[in-house]
Structure 1
Amino acid sequence: MMSVVYPGTFDPPHLGHLDIVKRSCALFDKVVVAIAKSPRKHLLFDLEERLDMFRVMVEDLGTKVEVKGFEGLLVDFMQREGIKVIVRGVRLFTDFEYELQIALNNNKLAGVETIFMMPSQEYIHISSTIVRDIASYCGKLEGLVHPYVAKKIREKFGCL
């Protein structure tokens, strides 16, 4: 069985992330969404909230997707899971430059391979940063995030 890890902080998860997961499900037997605790980042949502939102987003995909949290190096998580392939979404050339550096280091550290996947055209403009910015002004989130995620974001910003 061929599995892949889709890692990130996903703060918050959005429809571009979901697109990558769905398309990865067509290529792999199992997709493990690995959500980093990332204590050094100033995150809007804590790990449990991000796990909850992502689990709701993928519940219709059944057992093909598993959502797990981790702390520390991704390659250590992957070794514990017995997975040797990472999938990463890249939107722009600047994303690719950054992701390539990480991919090369992950390969050198643990021999893992990284597959880069572009989001579908209708989601390529979405980023968690943009979602947070729009939400901070109580802006419209439809078409950017899953309805459950939109509800959680509105609650966080007091936009009810």
Structure 2
Amino acid sequence: MSRAVCPGSFDPLHNGHVEVITRAAGLFDEVVVAVSTNYSKTYRFNTDERLAIARETFASLPAVSVVPMGDGLLAEFCREQNAGVIVKGLRSGRDFEYELPMATMNRQLTGVETVFIPGESRYLHLSSTLLKEVASLGGDIAQFVPQGVMDRLGAGGDT
């Protein structure tokens, strides 16, 4: 049985994330969405909210589970989850240049491989940072995020 981990902070989860994770679910028997915390980032949604949004979003995909990653190395998390693969979405060559050293390190640490899935062209401009900025300035991000994100942003839509 093949199990993959799709890690991310998902603040907020957006349709680019959803598309890559849904495609990964078609490639692997199980996909673990690992909701992480990067302490250098400022979060709009706390960990429990990010977990709830992801669980709601992927509820119709039985092969997808959503768990907190906790502290520690992604490679070790994959070992704990019995996952031999990390799935990362790519928007550009810049993403690849950023991700490749980490993929190599993860493979050398624990043997876990990284599979890169290129994003759909209609989502290549999306980033959580950009969406938070647009929403904070009053822009409508509804077309770019799952309903759970909009529900938690409230009527004003500001982050």
Say whether the fold is shared (TM-score over 0.5): yes
Q: 1:135, 1:154 within 8 Å by CA — same for their partners in 2? A: no
In 2, Cα distance between the equivalents of 1:44 and 1:28?
31
What residue identity is the alignment partner of 1:39? Y
What residue identity is the alignment partner of 2:34? A
In 2, Cα distance between the equivalents of 1:158 and 1:93?
32
In 2, Cα distance between the equivalents of 1:129 and 1:120?
19
Structure 1 residue 122 displacement after superposition: 1.6
Q: 1:138, 1:154 within 8 Å by CA — same for their partners in 2? A: no
Aligned to 1:57: 57
In 2, Cα distance between the equivalents of 1:37 and 1:121?
27
Aligned to 1:36: 36
1:70 lines up with 2:69 in the alignment = yes
Aligned residues: 158
Aligned to 2:129: 129
**Which is helix-richer, 1 or 2?**
1
Flag structure 1 segments of 5+ consecutive residues without an equivalent.
none
RMSD of the alignment, in Å? 1.7
What residue identity is the alignment partner of 1:70? M
Task: Report percent identity of matched pairs.
Answer: 39
Structure 1 residue 158 displacement after superposition: 6.4
1:24 lines up with 2:24 in the alignment = yes
In 2, Cα distance between the equivalents of 1:122 and 1:104?
29
What residue identity is the alignment partner of 1:102? M
Structure 1 residue 128 displacement after superposition: 0.5
In 1, Cα distance between the equivalents of 2:9 and 2:28?
22
Flag structure 2 segments of 5+ consecutive residues without an equivalent.
none
